[in-house]
Amino acid sequence: MARVFVTRQLPGGALDRLGAAHEVEVWAERMPPEPPQLRDKTAAAEALLTLLTDAVDASLLESAPRLKAISNYAVGTDNIDLPAATARGIPVGNTPDVLTEATADLTLALILAAARRITEGDRYVRAGEWRTWEPGLLLGHDLSGATVGIVGHGRIGRAVGRRLQGFGCELIYTSRGSDAPLTELLERADFVTLHAPLTDDSRHLIGAAELKRMKPTAHLVNTARGPLVDSDALARALAAGVLAGAALDVTDPEPLPGDHPLLDAPNLTVLPHLGSATHSAREAMAERAVDNLLAALSGERMPFCANPEVYEERATRPAP
């Protein structure tokens, strides 16, 4: 029976399965453990189940000599130092596939919210400003027949594309090493939606120069990772009318502090990272995260592993 630390309570019953096989401690607070608390809880753990809010860096790994496995409750693993984990021979699991459709649905909702100024309309009514129907009130843009640039041609990007085909949209894809150049996509698209992974190369993929390439009638949507967009540049672009609007499910920093300039920008919708926030998606993520740990702690290969080279190295390691 291994000692496992879980950094937050998860939806569904997956943690019950983990607790039936191992000694499990779940962080009971709503807010994530601070770095010293995470370090303290991880020090004697043999396995760790983390969220994107938990930074698992080389220093943390060094302070956890018994650690054998990490499972991240997310598709991405940018909160984990993968090279450091791999060097230690620690497999790192993730939860792909099960949140694709939920995130694609939310992306479409944000595109429509930006296009038709949904949140602005809601605020307008709640503020008591609606007096009469007006022909020129809160005019938006058509999604039907629009050109949509999809940055990232992975599972979620393709799922968004399938939904947009129903609106008769022209789709332009760009991804690493294929499809249209990003500059062309930005110049042609009425809507730009981001679905790229966060890497050193993609950080601030959309900055001031890229925003200036977009049409003044275009909208930017991000449901991938906040640091793909330079938040300060986006705030300035929206304030100056460089583009028509933006809709974000992820931000940098995340969460945004209440005095962040982006929150004062016009024509902006911001959500609290709800891309996978459906009952079925979040419970399925928990099942996969637990499956990863159960496999690793029984000496088997994680079914969803972000650093499979760990197993390749084990296979080529000479027997003692």
The pair of structure tokens assigned to 53 is: 């809010």
The catalytic residue among 188, 195, 219, 225 is: 225
Tokens of 104: 């694609």
**What is the b/e burial string over 147-163, where b = at least 16 CB atoms within 10 angstroms of the residue's CB?**
bbbbbbbbbbbbbbbee
Question: 254, 260, 283, 287: which is the annotated catalytic residue?
Answer: 254
Q: Give the separation between CA 215 and CA 188, rounded to whole angstroms.
A: 8
Say how many Å lie between the first and final Cα of the chain, rounded. Answer: 24
CA distance 68 to 238: 46
Sign of the alpha-carbon torsion through 44, 49, 55, 59: positive
Is 162 noted as a catalytic residue in this protein?
A: no
Of the residues 219, 273, 282, 288, which is catalytic? 273
Strand, coil or helix: 234:
helix
Q: Cα 242 to chain center, whole Å?
A: 26
Catalytic residue flag (residue 273): yes
Report the SS3 class of residue 185. helix
Instruction: Supply the residues annotated as catalytic.
Output: 225, 254, 273
